[in-house]
């Protein structure tokens, strides 16, 4: 893989995404979505044992900053990581602090 320079716009987008991820609840959400998982708001709020409105708020921030995407299936909206490479960031962070 060659080392490419990023444009100012790409660096701004990367910084914005990292800032959005830098919250304990959002990091927990991302950890649950690793591995290509798709989860609903209800599933996430039950996993994290937090209010559904709080979950929706954090999902909205992550989606707005380009970290997550969503797809609607019937009555449910499923959230998932927009970029597979974000999994590497989340895994690295968890490995750094689990030792």
For position 1, what pLDDT does the model report? 41
Q: Note the CATH number of domain 9-97.
A: 1.10.10.10
For position 96, what pLDDT does the model report? 87
Q: What mean pLDDT comes out for the span 49-77?
A: 96
Distances (CA, A) of 10 to 13, 18, 61, 84, 94: 5, 12, 19, 17, 25
3-state secondary structure of 42: helix
Q: What is the pTM of this model?
A: 0.88
- Which structure tokens are listed for 52? 């559904």
């Amino acid at each position: 893989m060659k080392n490419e320079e990023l444009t100012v716009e790409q660096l701004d987008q990367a910084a914005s995404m990292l800032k959005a991820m830098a919250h304990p609840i959002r990091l927990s959400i991302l950890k649950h979505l690793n591995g290509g998982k798709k989860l609903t708001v209800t599933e996430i709020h039950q996993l994290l044992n937090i209010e559904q409105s709080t979950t929706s708020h954090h999902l909205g921030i992550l989606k707005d900053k380009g970290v997550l995407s969503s797809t609607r299936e019937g009555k449910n909206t499923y959230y998932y990581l927009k970029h597979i490479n974000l999994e590497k960031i989340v895994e690295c962070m968890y490995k750094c602090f689990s030792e």
